[in-house]
Amino acid sequence: MKRNLFDLTKEELEEYFLNIGEKKFKATQVYEWLYQKKEFNIANFSNIKKEIQTKLSNDFSLDLIKIVKKQEDNLTEKYLFKLLDDNYIEAVVMHHDYGNSICVSSQVGCNMGCKFCASGKLKKVRNLEAYEIVEQILVIEQDLNIRIKSVVIMGIGEPLDNYDNIIRFIKIINDAKGLAIGARHITLSTSGLIPKIYELSKLPLQINLAISLHAPNNELRNKLMPVNKVYNIEALIQAIKDYLSVTSRRVTIEYVMLDNVNDSLECALELAKLLKGLNIYVNLIPYNETNSGDFKRSSRNKIMAFYDTLKKAGINCTTRREFGSNIDAACGQLRGSMNKI
């Protein structure tokens, strides 16, 4: 099976051209056609001679994932994609004052099993290849005629469980001749795969790291997130400290607000104590309720009381603006509905 051309970093493409006896600058030309001019037909790469076009066409595919379904409200579009092997994934676009952002999926399904997450109810089938993540951006940009300025790797799947493909994806979209999305506009969200956090810290990337914490102690986090039974909070906090020491990059702590589960003032005080002195900020996330009804969203009053408690304890925090509450915007909801058909 031919490798997809969107799967190659520019360095890999340069090596390909050198191996076939061509100058490596041709990789830059191909990248410009694909990512800047958005030309997906190799025969139209007019500054590349025909014999090289033929060679590229013989060696690589440019197959794109397909839009199956789209839901939208005022500031959000959610896409369901069909992959070439007939699996389904999702991506969500959010429109902000400062530009368009996208939340991409990294796997077909997820094995983390977080109790409040719709995507965790559908087990991991396989990792996404780098090109399948890149194409989520390209196909949506084409569909909406927009430019994506920031990327969050927070859709279906655990990104650090697909480490190599995620790093390749980041290199492709960050490349100045690729999608030219700045590293500081790329956020990777993990449930806490500690060995990979250490590995990530050693790479010369300036991306943002977000940790899905969602509980201030092991007892509660064990119930919500099975990964905590392998990598507990103490080990995770130490990994965050080490990451901060190596990278000097502030870390985001994600905390989804679940009614009468993790939203008490006692939880807020415990969280503040846990995070005190770290270069972090806490992102309080109103829960997107799923069809299962297992969890409910905390009230606005509870969220603000939690926020005020953290602020008074000296913890930087924000409350996430809601997007997609009128559509199936919780990760996995749209794919889950399709799998029931």
**Any residues with CB less than 8 A from the CB of 51 and at least 6 apart, and which?**
none
**Any residues with CB less than 8 A from the CB of 231 and at least 6 apart, and which?**
192, 193, 194, 239
Digit-coded pLDDT (tens) for 202-223? 999 999 999 999 999 999 999 9
Give the mean pLDDT of the chain. Answer: 93
Q: Are 152 and 94 in contact (CB under 8 A)?
A: no
Alpha-carbon dihedral of residues 57, 58, 64, 65, nearest 10 degrees?
Answer: 180
Amino acid (1-letter code) at residue 274: L
Active site residues: 90, 331
Q: Rounded mean pLDDT of 92-99?
A: 93
Q: What is the pLDDT of residue 289?
A: 81
Digit-coded pLDDT (tens) for 127-161? 999 999 999 999 999 999 999 999 999 999 999 99
What count of Cα atoms within 13 Å lies in the side-chain half-sphere of residue 41?
3
Digit-coded pLDDT (tens) for 305-330? 999 999 999 999 999 766 555 545 44
- Cα separation of 200 and 180, whole Å? 21
User: What is the token pair recorded at 181?
Assistant: 């999305």
What Å distances lie between residue 35 and 5, 15, 126, 297, CA to CA?
Answer: 11, 19, 26, 40
pLDDT confidence band for 121 (50 / 70 / 90): confident
Report all structural domains of the chain as residue ranges with CATH numbers, in order of start. 3-61 (1.10.150.530), 66-339 (3.20.20.70)
- Inform me whether the pLDDT recorded for 337 exceeds 50: no
Nearest C-alpha neighbor of 282 from the set 240, 252, 321, 313: 252
Nearest C-alpha neighbor of 8 from the set 127, 142, 186, 165: 165
Supply the pTM of this predicted model.
0.93
Q: What is the pLDDT of residue 322?
A: 60
CA angle 37, 38, 43 (to 5 degrees): 90
Q: What is the DSSP letter of 35?
A: I
pLDDT confidence band for 338 (50 / 70 / 90): very low
